[in-house]
Structure 1
Amino acid sequence: MMSTTTWLSLVFFTSYGYLLAQEAIPFKIQNEFYIYGDALVIGNNVLSKDAKEPFNDPDLTNDDIDMVFVDVDDDVSTFSSSSANLILPLNHTKIKYAALYWSATYSYEQGFRKESDGQFLFQGKRDNKRNKINNIKLKTPNGRYTDVIGSVIFDGARDRAFTLNSPYVCMADVTKLLKNSEIINGEYMVANVVATQGFVSGEALRVGYFMLFTKPPQKILNI
């Protein structure tokens, strides 16, 4: 079983491997539990080539795709929405801890790309308003959207080494929200994650969830 640090590394590495490789923020333990249980991570992307249709072309990099917000909830109150399914055995659905992590490249609202002397140049109007990056919405299975205000773990706009793409990482403890949910298994929806649409260099955008759940006693684990 992986430790807490390893699981958090998985969530962050999926989102910003290059960011952490430059040691902008060191790994550290957020929470630690001794439980009869296990851990699970679910998540999805927030940008794609199409708002609703799946897209996968291994011959293209993110830099080559004119990205738009994924928006699959048919809700006019959200400008983006991404879903992921949680499936736990029926006797494993007691939540011990649930954290929501999200990250994006957000240097400007709309990015453009042009070619000059055989090289691509990426441009856009800078968005200096960072008060929106930690405000999103979360919907549990058969529930309604709940406003979530997270903590900003890292904001590249405040670090000269990362201002070009201005990536950010946020997290929120959503344990109480899931414990109060009547249904645990099913589709979770995250909405209104801000990010740069269009073209941007070195693009990597994800939204991720980190959840712990308990199960009938077998042996105690350190998670």
Structure 2
Amino acid sequence: MRTVLSFILTLSVGATLLAQESDTLTTRYKVLAKGNLYITGNNILNRQEGKKLSANKANDDTTTGMKVNDNQTMEYIDIDKDKNTFSSSAANVLLPKNSKILFAGLYWSATYPFERGELKAGKVVISDAKREPVEEVLLKLPKGKYTSVKGQFVFDGSTDSRFIDKNAPYVMFADVTKLLQEAKRLDGEYTVANIRSAKGMITGGACAGWALVIAYENPQEPFRKIDIKDGFLAVKESKDVIFTNFKIPSVKEVFPRLIGAALDADIDQGENKMGIFSQKVGIYMETRTRKVKNFLNSSITYGEDIIKERKPNSKNTLGIDIFSVEVPNYDFEVFPVGGDFLRVNFSSTHDEFYTYLLGLAIHTEEGTSLRDEEVDRILGKKPTPKPVTHQAQTPVSTQEKQPVSTAVQPKTTLQPKTEVAQAGIAKVTNTQNPISKPVQQQPSSQSVSEKAEIPSNVYKIKVDNVKKGCYLILGAYSSKENVDKYIFNLRQKGMHAEGSFFYPVKNLHYAYSYYLPTYEEALKKQREVNTLKKANPALEKVKDVWILIVE
């Protein structure tokens, strides 16, 4: 295996040299292992308004006219109080216990046509035209000291005719696997410093940041194929990235993990989407923090949530996107047993953005080979013909408009058999499935405009740090990961699902449709939601919402 991995790494370095010409993503690293992917990172450029609003202060503006980098004076973030650095930001890593590092790659990127620009008479003018080398940065591991890291270009816009007189984006990569493998401590705060970028104002807005991607092995993980691709996709209209040569085994469930990073995508500037497709069907991704029509929105997220363990931990990173999501695959409706093809499509109707990193961790049979058509193409060899077992979906041409794909409506997992617990809430024998609701008295026909008495069998709990009031409960899970999957599934079917909260006494994550401050309002909304649900065939197997009161 070690020989094969070395061979693949050598090939992938050569492949990235083609990225500037082919405008695509190619494999940097791949492996077959019981493991998974992890990604974190941060922006290193932020808005600044004189002395009253420092670039080091988190930017949470996602609604006003100042929410995009085009309208901002951008300056370096520098959080480390080290006189030897001019820019620095930090983010935490937290891997599962007993994990072993297989690969670690550090990426840094920015728009960098010149050192500084400013706005004069409504036009951007260059006030400092020099452009310093970008190949070397500093990396500090948890409880460690800065180490110099030298990278190689994945893409250099200063030498590309499309970008020379514009924003000149660049992407750098450094293999830091050995640094992490030899580290005394893996979990904790990682700081990256001295990334260079344009400052002040440039046409289209300045942005800069870094991403750390880790492939790790862990005995508790299923057997997966892990494939990390990088390059430079300038997305305006539609671009595809293809993953092949895996074979989904016959197991209980398969939810592929997809990680990625992009530069210069904005909040609500036209539409941008990320679609994920098998050979026949697919879905457009959406989370609580990423809208389906604005998936890349200048945020750094894991699953449904903004990653808070960063310095600064801005909700709006002004042009830096990092994400890690699980792809819904309920009942294998998108990626069936035996499936061996996954296409990721990025599209934009307005602003151009740059995807430079995409990684996939997907269950595969243990007999899978790392050899594939991409390797053969790089070597100049013809791949061995394979028997066609199904009709292949033609990848979308980068010069053609993408056809509309049919979005899959995932099925809701059937409720397991339950036994009634003493607390009046049903106890699930299989904690991977949602917990059933407690039996509640049906509301009477009285008008909810009158003050309704709360029946004695309405379930009430006390939870710290959860807003008091009434919640219309959709289901409950013993893990945050599973409740997030359930919420996504319901949203795909057209069900309103606001979010979830954790009840530590029962170790349950409650998914809820609505929050209402009073029981009268909750009773009215409960009737409305359940009536609408019954009219939607896709929600036929979904249980009625029930009222839970947080005191």
* Partners of 1:82 and 1:190 within 8 A in 2: yes
Q: Which residue of 2 aligns with 1:173?
A: 175
Instruction: In structure 1, give the amino acid aligned to 2:114.
Output: Y
Q: How does 1:120-139 map to 2 (within 5 A)?
A: 120-124=122-126, 125-129=128-132, 132-139=133-140
Instruction: In structure 1, give the amino acid aligned to 2:90.
Output: S
Deviation at 1:128, TM superposition (A): 4.4
Deviation at 1:90, TM superposition (A): 2.2
SS of the aligned residue for 1:108 comes to coil
Q: How does 1:207-218 map to 2 (within 5 A)?
A: 207-218=210-221
Give a deviation string over 1:184-217, Cα, whole Å, max 9, x none: 0000000000001111122332211111111115
Q: Which residue of 2 aligns with 1:5?
A: none
Q: Which residue of 1 aligns with 2:25?
A: 27
Deviation at 1:91, TM superposition (A): 2.2
SS of the aligned residue for 1:30 comes to strand
Cα distance in 2 between the residues matched to 1:213 and 1:45: 24
* Partners of 2:115 and 2:131 within 8 A in 1: no
* Partners of 2:41 and 2:210 within 8 A in 1: yes
SS of the aligned residue for 2:55 comes to coil
1:67 matched to 2:74? The reply is yes
SS of the aligned residue for 2:178 comes to helix
1:106 matched to 2:112? The reply is yes
Superposition TM-score, scaled by structure 1 size: 0.83
Q: How does 1:10-89 map to 2 (within 5 A)?
A: 25-49=23-47, 50-58=54-62, 59=64, 60=66, 61-89=68-96
Q: Which residue of 2 aligns with 1:222?
A: 225
- CA distance change for structure 1 residues 179 and 112 in 2, over 3 Å: closer, same or farther? same
* Partners of 2:112 and 2:131 within 8 A in 1: no
Cα distance in 2 between the residues matched to 1:48 and 1:175: 29
* Partners of 2:33 and 2:224 within 8 A in 1: yes
* Partners of 1:51 and 1:72 within 8 A in 2: no
* Partners of 2:115 and 2:130 within 8 A in 1: yes
Deviation at 1:126, TM superposition (A): 2.4
Q: Which residue of 2 aligns with 1:16?
A: none
Equivalent of residue 195 in structure 1, options 189, 194, 197: 197
Instruction: In structure 2, give the amino acid aligned to 1:134.
Output: E
Q: Which residue of 1 aligns with 2:102?
A: 96
Cα distance in 2 between the residues matched to 1:219 and 1:73: 39
Instruction: In structure 2, give the amino acid aligned to 1:193.
Output: I
Deviation at 1:82, TM superposition (A): 0.9
Structure 2 residue runs of 5 or longer lacking an equivalent are 1-18, 48-53, 227-551
Give a deviation string over 1:107-155, Cα, whole Å, max 9, x none: 111111134xxxx4222132244xx211100000001100000001111
Cα distance in 2 between the residues matched to 1:219 and 1:183: 25
Cα distance in 2 between the residues matched to 1:101 and 1:68: 20
Cα distance in 2 between the residues matched to 1:146 and 1:76: 15
Instruction: In structure 2, give the amino acid aligned to 1:200.
Output: I
Instruction: In structure 1, give the amino acid aligned to 2:130.
Output: D
1:206 matched to 2:204? The reply is no
Q: What number of residue pairs does the alignment pair up?
A: 196
Cα distance in 2 between the residues matched to 1:218 and 1:55: 36
SS of the aligned residue for 1:85 comes to strand
Instruction: In structure 2, give the amino acid aligned to 1:27.
Output: L
* Partners of 2:118 and 2:200 within 8 A in 1: yes
Superposition TM-score, scaled by structure 2 size: 0.34
Cα distance in 2 between the residues matched to 1:25 and 1:101: 18
Structure of greater Rg: 2
SS of the aligned residue for 1:103 comes to strand
Cα distance in 1 between the residues matched to 2:74 and 2:43: 11
Q: Which residue of 2 aligns with 1:155?
A: 156
Among all aligned residue pairs of Structure 1 and Structure 2, give the percentage whose two residues are the same amino acid.
37
* Partners of 1:48 and 1:55 within 8 A in 2: yes
- Of residues 153-162 and 211-220 in structure 1, the stretch that sits farther from structure 2 once superposed is 211-220
Cα distance in 2 between the residues matched to 1:88 and 1:128: 37
Give a deviation string over 1:7-58, Cα, whole Å, max 9, x none: xxxxxxxxxxxxx9x9873111111110111001101001012332111212
Instruction: In structure 2, give the amino acid aligned to 1:77.
Output: N
Instruction: In structure 2, give the amino acid aligned to 1:101.
Output: Y
SS of the aligned residue for 2:29 comes to coil
* Partners of 1:25 and 1:154 within 8 A in 2: no
The structure whose RCO (Cα within 8 Å, separation 6+) is larger is 1
